[in-house]
Amino acid sequence: MTHVQAIVVGGGPAGLAAALRLREKGIEDILILERETLAGGILRQCIHDGFGLTRFGESLSGPEYAQRFIDRVAQEGIRCVADTTVLDISSDKTVTAVSRKRGLMQFQADAVLLTMGCRERTRGALAVPGTRPSGIYTAGVAQNYINLQNIMVGRETVIMGSGDIGLIMARRLTLEGAHVKGVYEVLPYPSGLPRNIEQCLNDYGIPLYLSHTVTEIRGRERLESVVVAQCDERFEPIAGTEEEIPCDTLILSVGLIPENELSLAAGVALDARTRGAFVDEHCQTNVPGVFAAGNVLHVHDLVDFVSLEAEQMAESAAEYLNAGSLPACCLEVKAGADIGHVIPQRISGTRDFTLSLRVRKPMRNVTLVLAQKDRTVKRVRLRKALPAEMIQLTVRKADLCEDADLEVYVE
Amino acid sequence: MRDYDVLVIGGGVVGSAVARELTRYRLKIGVLERESDVCTQTSGRNTGMLHAGFLYKPGTLKAKCAVEGNGEFDRVAKELDVPFRRTGKLIVGFTEEHRRRLLAMIERGRENGVPGMELIDRARMDEIDPSAGGNFAVFCPTSGILDPFLYTIALAENAVHNGADYHLYTNVTGAARLDDGRIVLNTNRGEFSARWVVNSAGLNSAVISEMLGIPGYRIQPIKGEYFVLDKKAGVFAKIPVYPAPTERNTFDTHATPTVDGNVLVGPNSFPVEDGEDYSVSRSGMNGLQESGAKMFRHMKREYYIRTFAGARPKRVDPQTGEIQDFLIERRDEVPGVINLVGIESPGLTSALPIARRAVRLIEEKERLIPNDAFDPVRRGIRRFHEASVSEKRQLVAENPDYGEIICRCETVTRAEILAAIHNPLGVTTVNGIKVRTRASMGRCQGGYCEMRITAMIREELGKAAEDVRLTNGRSFMFTGAVKGGEQA
């Protein structure tokens, strides 16, 4: 068994940023384990631009954004072992991994940084009725085939769900000569970012149908058609509104799920709302020395924020490695009215921290309130608040007291 | 024309068991399978139960074959390397009416020769499986669970290993008789002839029977829909849990752990016109959510990973519609035909007993010479996931392909995918790889591995992207290259 100070599980945007910040904070012995041949994570297949506006002040493609981190990791001489899949992480931070070159490896880590990203929700998880023909792809899988393997998945396309990758793929498929017949979103508002609705749908004349969903899949071999219907406020199809749409391809963009199988193996407790770990303001999970950031913690809207969060995690991990422990976080952060989730779920009350959250529904001209007991910690006026957009704010220790939970709600 | 001693129509679990049992003799055997693989229809669309045999009317073939098949399955599973666990089964009741039916069921089981059935109370149930619903139950110790895909594949592979030929994508469209009595089968892939033809065509067994000269049977497909639940739910499911039988002596929705650690919830049960319509319905799913929760306390939306449907080809009386027993027959007026009609549940359990009876019917008419080279043993693909840490180390050291994880959820390696791509039956579909390795059967449903598997199929078999198939027929996955691009 090899001893390593810090193991970073996954060399995507979160893992790369975390490793770099660890090094900046003086951690020498860092190992990134990456299952793909090349680092960069999902950004490798995101060939569209729009990445890095916040962080670098310019619009980059996914591979360009990733490359900036990959180059620096190489310059810093940080070890990144590719083609290596982590099989298990135990609660005592033993990491078991395998690769064809190196065989089965076991490491004993002082700190484990979980940066595995997320996966796509599938048709099976939604139990969409109908047959099971070929021609049904999640948006990310279609993106991989088209952008990395140069192969087309189909011609006449319907998109279910208005998640960002689905919107991106609506444009991508159109540019490749496929016909995108429409995007059907069960919610009364889009799941994806406004800029993607504009640039990927409106600019190409692709219709978006809100409060609509696919109610049946037809075709025994290749997909032949889908039935779509309008939905009521409980997301149930409204009888009589069904319409059959001939198509050979159905792209699903119906949500992302943090990929926490390894976290569970390590004994990390998960939040049912984010489906990521419960973390404190140090991005530390309930397992001491195990940290999480990026999409494995909660699904982000922009990669810029993934990098940022991972860097904050790395600072805490470095502090943990140098000091042996981190200040206790005994105060709970509670998601109140109209708040979907909050990160972190626990704080110390003695330090500044970044609060990330999503609202439950689209709202205009509302006030976001942070309160401890009856005391207002912070009030933020929001001109608009969309579930598609993550909201982040810095909370100052000067505004916090040390003896009451923090409640976050929309007034 | 390709000539055989015996042609088997339908390579499902029964057809493959027949082919395998026939290879014990010096015979030239061909199996004609319409689909892309041997387990795409009824054989692969069921609960994967090894039935004990307590449900069926005493004296029927269903009762006899199930009890016989159940009794020998430890040996069969070992011989053919099929994942199998003798879990036992709980048949649970809530009401006094249920208690009455359960007691009658124990009695019937005793008559059929099913050992060890007993009525147990809630306390005993909690010891066996606290997640089971119900106030009391019958515990049947001999029931078990098996992998229905791999059992069918194992029988077929063992048949091939012992000399049988499998012809996939071969649909029998007609039959004729030569002057010497041999039967000619017309197919989409040319003519085949044989001295004996075994009809094990499942849902189409009545149609094939008529083609072969025995009209008058009727198959009523009874469809059932299922949920597949995540292995995270599987940790709660220790044993198959069935409800007390209905008035019609059938079972409603049950919850069954699979050998791999998932849970199947289903099936519902309703007659359909078209047995090969495997769509699942919204109403069916809604019903299963409710009835499934009664059997399994962890029936939750977050555990759904897939739905599927299958159909049981029940033979019914053409006049009354009454459900009938398995039919295993040879008629003197239609020589050379062995007819297996209406083989439904418990067909998986009964496959080998049925096959032996079919062989006996041939043996009654001609002397069969034992095949001294017959080898009953078949080895499956070694699974990395099931190996210990030290075994894993060894596997990768010996074969680096074991060091490359292709399916993340089920931890399936490149070595296993390669073995599946080069399977003995010549199956080339993505689904064929799936049922042989479990790749893409996990919670991400191929989100990570499908693109790797399709690339491997193309590379290993030299296929263009547009020639890759998901499963049967025209289930193509790609339409070609991107604009001005070359397929990577």
Under an 8 A CB cutoff, do B403 and A99 touch? yes
Which of B392, B470, B479 faces A152 most closely, judged by CB atoms? B479
C-alpha separations of A64 from A164, A304, B66, B162 in Å: 19, 13, 63, 57
What is the 3-state composition of chain B as percent helix, strand, coil, each rounded to the nearest 5? 35, 25, 40
At residue B484 the predicted structure's pLDDT band, cuts being 50, 70 and 90, is confident
In this predicted structure, the answer to whether residue B249 has a pLDDT above a threshold of 90 is: no
Mean pLDDT of B393-421: 97
Predicted confidence (pLDDT) per residue in B254-294, tens digit: 899 999 999 999 999 999 999 999 999 999 999 999 988 88
Give the number of A-B residue pairs with CB atoms closer than 8 Å.
Answer: 151
- Interface with chain B: mutation pick from A42, A104, A155, highest number of B CBs within 10 Å: A104
A360 to chain B, closest Cα gap in Å: 19
Is residue B194 within 8 Å of residue B207, measured between CB atoms?
no
| pLDDT score recorded for residue B486 | 77
Alpha helices in B30-121 (DSSP H): 61-80, 96-112
Name the β-bridge partners of B310.
B224
Within 10 angstroms of residue B386's Cβ, the number of other Cβ atoms is 11
**Considering only CA atoms, which of B175, B149, B192 is closest in space to residue B16?**
B149
**Considering only CA atoms, which of A16, A257, A37, A256 is closest in space to residue A113?**
A16
Cβ neighbours for A230, distance < 8 A, ≥ 6 positions apart = A211, A212, A237, A238, A241
Q: Which fold has domain A327-411?
A: Immunoglobulin-like (2.60.40)
Cis peptide bond upstream of B115, omega within 30: no
Which of B284, B405, B480 faces A85 most closely, judged by CB atoms? B405
Cβ neighbours for B393, distance < 8 A, ≥ 6 positions apart = A103, A104
| pLDDT score recorded for residue B247 | 79
Homologous superfamily assigned to B84-144+220-316? D-Amino Acid Oxidase, subunit A, domain 2 (3.30.9.10)
Cis peptide bond upstream of B267, omega within 30: yes
DSSP state of B368: P
Name the β-bridge partners of B412.
B407
Residue of B nearest to A82 (CA): B404
DSSP state of B465: G
- Interface with chain A: mutation pick from B274, B408, B458, highest number of A CBs within 10 Å: B408
Name the β-bridge partners of B314.
B220
Whole-angstrom Cα distance, residue B186 to residue B170? 10
> B105 — alpha (psi -120 to 50), left (phi > 0) or beta?
alpha
Residue of A nearest to B409 (CA): A261
Is residue A91 within 8 Å of residue A112, measured between CB atoms?
no
Under an 8 A CB cutoff, do A150 and B473 touch? no
A153 to chain B, closest Cα gap in Å: 5
Question: Which pair of structure tokens corresponds to residue B271?
Answer: 């007659």
Whole-angstrom Cα distance, residue A238 to residue A253? 22
Q: Chain A contacts of B276, Cβ < 8 Å?
A: 220
Under an 8 A CB cutoff, do A123 and B470 touch? no
Is residue A114 within 8 Å of residue A277, measured between CB atoms?
yes
Vertex A352, ends A304 and A92: CA angle to 5°? 75
Q: Chain B contacts of A103, Cβ < 8 Å?
A: 393, 396-397, 400, 403
C-alpha separations of B289 from A31, A246, B134, B307, B345 in Å: 45, 30, 17, 12, 23
**Considering only CA atoms, which of B302, B311, B306, B265 is closest in space to residue B287?**
B265
Question: Which pair of structure tokens corresponds to residue A214?
Answer: 């696919």
pTM strictly above 0.80? yes
Tokens 């009401």 correspond to B95
CATH tag for A1-120+256-325 (out of 3.50.50.60, 3.40.47.10, 3.90.1150.10, 1.25.40.80): 3.50.50.60
Question: Which pair of structure tokens corresponds to residue A132?
Answer: 């099971």
At residue B252 the predicted structure's pLDDT band, cuts being 50, 70 and 90, is confident
Give the architecture-level CATH label for domain A122-254: 3-Layer(bba) Sandwich (3.50)
Active site residues of B: 51
pLDDT tens digit at each of 411 positions of chain A: 999 999 999 999 999 999 999 999 999 999 999 999 999 999 999 999 999 999 999 999 999 999 999 999 999 999 999 999 999 999 999 999 999 999 999 999 999 999 999 999 999 999 999 999 999 999 999 999 999 999 999 999 999 999 999 999 999 999 999 999 999 999 999 999 999 999 999 999 999 999 999 999 999 999 999 999 999 999 999 999 999 999 999 999 999 999 999 999 999 999 999 999 999 999 999 999 999 999 999 999 999 999 999 999 999 999 999 999 999 999 999 999 999 999 999 999 999 999 999 999 999 999 999 999 989 999 999 999 999 999 999 999 999 999 999 999 999
- Residue environment code for A92-112, b if the CB has 16+ CB neighbours within 10 A, otherwise e: ebebbbbbbeebbbebebbbb
Domain boundaries, chain B: 84-144+220-316, 389-467
Under an 8 A CB cutoff, do B445 and A177 touch? no
Residue of A nearest to B410 (CA): A87
| Residue B435: Cβ-neighbour burial (10 angstroms; 0-12, 13-18, 19+) | buried
B173 to chain A, closest Cα gap in Å: 20
For chain A, the residue count is: 411
Under an 8 A CB cutoff, do A120 and B405 touch? no
3-state secondary structure of B27: coil
Residue of A nearest to B392 (CA): A104
Whole-angstrom Cα distance, residue B39 to residue B22? 20
- Residue environment code for B91-117, b if the CB has 16+ CB neighbours within 10 A, otherwise e: bbbeeeebbebbeebbebbeebbbeeb
CATH tag for B389-467 (out of 3.40.50.720, 1.10.10.1100, 3.40.50.261, 1.20.140.10): 1.10.10.1100
- Name the strand (E) or helix (H) holding A23: helix A13-24
Residue of A nearest to B415 (CA): A100
Predicted confidence (pLDDT) per residue in B423-444, tens digit: 999 999 999 999 999 999 999 9
Q: What sign does the CA torsion over B389, B392, B398, B402 have?
A: negative
Name the β-bridge partners of B316.
B218, B323
DSSP state of B320: T
Domain boundaries, chain A: 1-120+256-325, 122-254, 327-411
Alpha helices in B253-388 (DSSP H): 282-295, 347-363
Whole-angstrom Cα distance, residue A393 to residue A381? 12
| pLDDT score recorded for residue B390 | 95
**Considering only CA atoms, which of A88, A89, A66 is closest in space to residue A20?**
A66
C-alpha separations of A273 from A276, A278, A332, B79, B460 in Å: 8, 10, 15, 48, 43
Is residue B289 within 8 Å of residue B283, measured between CB atoms?
no
Under an 8 A CB cutoff, do B480 and A100 touch? no
In this predicted structure, the answer to whether residue B31 has a pLDDT above a threshold of 90 is: yes
Vertex A122, ends A121 and A125: CA angle to 5°? 90
Predicted confidence (pLDDT) per residue in B307-344, tens digit: 999 999 999 999 999 999 999 999 999 999 999 999 99
HSE at residue A382, side-chain half, CA atoms within 13 A, is 22
C-alpha separations of A137 from A204, A225, B155, B282, B448 in Å: 21, 14, 33, 21, 12
ipTM of the modeled complex: 0.96
Is residue B5 within 8 Å of residue B196, measured between CB atoms?
yes
